[in-house]
Amino acid sequence: MNEQQEIACAVYKTAKRDGLYLYVKEQDDFSDVPDEVMKQFPKPEHVFDLELSADRPLARENVFKVIENLQTQGFHLQMPPKAESPIDTITLPDSLHG
């Protein structure tokens, strides 16, 4: 991939699953997204538009993979982060137990 390459995309989230995001090439154009994926986004909520490029890394995704997926399949699906330990499994110091 050309280091200077940039690609615009729109990012959506779903109320159905926290941390699941869908990147598409154009806002409100889900024509390249398979029905199985769209079932997870019954009411896609637009989060923001983004200009992807090699010099702007993403927090949780490899920007090169996102660009490649947008170019080859027309969308990118960002899965939720791996489950972390729930807050109720954290042992609190005795001083915090009222």
Give per-residue pLDDT as tens, 27-49: 999 999 999 999 999 999 999 99
Q: What is the pLDDT of residue 86?
A: 54
Long-range contacts of 62-70, Cβ-Cβ distance < 8 Å, separation of 24 or more: 64/1, 66/9, 66/23, 67/1, 67/5, 67/7, 68/1, 69/23, 70/7, 70/9, 70/23, 70/24, 70/25
Is residue 87 in a domain?
Answer: no
Is residue 88 in a domain?
Answer: no
Q: What is the pLDDT of residue 1?
A: 47
Q: What is the pLDDT of residue 5?
A: 80
CATH at residue 12: 3.10.510.20
Is residue 93 in a domain?
Answer: no
> Which residue range(s) make up the domain with 77?
6-81
Is residue 68 in a domain?
Answer: yes
Low-confidence ranges of the chain (pLDDT < 50): 1-2
